[in-house]
Amino acid sequence: MGTITLRRPDKRNALDFAFWLSLSEALRKAAQDSEVRVILLKGAGDSFCSGLDLSPTNEVIRLLSKKPSADQKMRLFDIIKRVQSIYTELEVLRAPTIAVIQGHCLGAGLELVCSCDMRFCSSDALFALPEPRFGIITDIGGLQRLPKIVGRGKAREMAFRGHSIGADEAKRIGLVNEVFDTREMLFVQASKIGKEIAANAPLAVQGAKEVLLHSEDVSALRSLEYNAARSAMILPSGDLQESFKSYSEKRDPEFKGN
């Protein structure tokens, strides 16, 4: 059994482009290791993942600080497509994947766990797609995968409202498989379940996963291209800049729809 851990606890494991590239490398190594029969995906510290890293060290944020241009939008498109491909690498990984979630699981972090086969959380977990509150379109597969997990109506509600839901609601709508009272219980039980899967015949487990993936509607993957193009057009907006400004000034944003 392998473990991949998000290790930026000082930033609540916020994601940047450098992290995504390191995740791709970890997935490549896992795919090449025949001894890895199941993978636990964890977050170090108090939160699983707080979403996109908004600091200027993130290449995406540096790009968005520049004057909008065709070159900028093409670079954004390329980055979005690359990150989409990394999340798909996780989704189609031969070994089953289990997301082990405590605390915040937001934005790109929620999209990340949607690429996993199973999701378990502690009772303090919070889930959200807060992108609409920042002038961003969810664009790394959440709009394609979340409806398959929780249904079209609930996925639309989360994508449009940007609100948080707790662990019990996540269990009720099928976002997580099980909720555990404490983080300690979560880690113990997730590891136990992982070991149970790893103890099964690997070809049977991997074959079952391949069949399950093949049986899903492929139109969701085709929609990613349009998703990336639309997101690249919308990202360099005044509303996004306003969200960054209001965030730094600790006030509510005043969006103007431009």
Residue 141, pLDDT above cutoff 60: yes
Tokens 């605390």, located at residue: 103
Give domain 2-249's CATH number out of 3.90.226.10, 3.30.70.270, 3.30.70.330, 3.40.50.720: 3.90.226.10
Looking at per-residue pLDDT, the higher value among 10 and 207 belongs to: 10
Tokens 């609409």, located at residue: 132
**pTM over cut 0.85:** yes
Domain boundaries, the chain: 2-249
The DSSP string of 74-94 is HHHHHHHHHHHHHHHHHHT-S
Question: Which pLDDT score is estimated for 161?
Answer: 97
Residue-wise pLDDT tens digits, 212-239: 887 776 555 666 777 787 778 777 878 7
Tokens of 168: 């019990």
Q: Which residues of 60-73 are buried (b: 16+ CB within 10 A; e: fewer)?
A: bbebbeeeeeeebb
